[in-house]
Amino acid sequence: MEGQGKAMMMEGVENSKGREKAAVGGACDLVLRLLALALTLAAAIVVGVDNHTKVVPIKILDGLPPVNVPVPAKWHYLSAFVYFLVANAIASTYGAFSLVLAIINKGKSRGLGSLITVLDALMVALLFSGNGAASAVGVLGYYGNSHVQWKKVCNVFDNFCHQFAASVLLSLLGSAAFLLLVLLPLLRLQRRN
Partner 1 sequence: MASRDKTEDPEHRLSSTPIPAPAAGVDYFHFDLILRFLLFASSLVAVVVMVTSNQTEYVPLPRPAKFRYSPAFIYFVAAFSVSGLYSILTALASLSVIRKPALKTKFLLYFLFWDALILGILASATGTAGGVAYVGLKGNNHVGWHKICNVYDKYCRHVGGSIGVGLVGSIVSVLLVWLSAFSLHSRVPQ
The site for partner 1 (CB under 8 A) is made up of: 8, 11-12, 15-16, 18, 73, 77-80, 83, 107-108, 110, 113-114, 117-118, 121-122, 124-126, 128-137, 139-141, 145, 147-151, 153, 175, 179, 182-183, 185-186, 188-190, 192-193
Residue 88 contacts residue 43 (beta carbons within 8 Å): yes
Closest approach, Cβ 97 to partner 1, in A, equals 19
Nearest partner of 164 among 191, 189, 133, judged by Cα: 133
Nearer to partner 1, 30 or 152 (CB): 152
Of the two residues 45 and 119, which places its CB atom closer to partner 1 in the complex?
Answer: 119
Decide whether 46 or 124 has the Cβ nearer to partner 1.
Answer: 124
3-state SS assignment for residue 59:
coil
Q: C-beta of 45: minimal distance to partner 1 in Å?
A: 21
Residue whose CB is less far from partner 1, 67 or 155: 155
The number of helices, as runs of H, and strands, as runs of E, in the chain is: 4, 2
Closest approach, Cβ 85 to partner 1, in A, equals 13
Q: Compare residues 63 and 111 and give the one whose CB is closer to partner 1.
A: 111
- Cβ 87 to partner 1 shortest distance, Å: 9
| Nearest distance, CB of residue 77 and partner 1, angstroms | 4
- For residues 24 and 72, what is the distance between their CA atoms, to the nearest angstrom? 49
User: CA 38 from chain center: how many Å?
Assistant: 9
Report the nearest approach of partner 1 to the CB of residue 187 (Å).
9
- Contact, 88 vs 47, CB < 8 A? yes
Angle, alpha carbons 91-94-176 (nearest 5°): 45
Element (H, E) at 72: strand 67-73
Is 43 or 124 the residue whose CB approaches partner 1 more closely? Answer: 124
Rounded CA-CA distance 121/109 in Å is 19
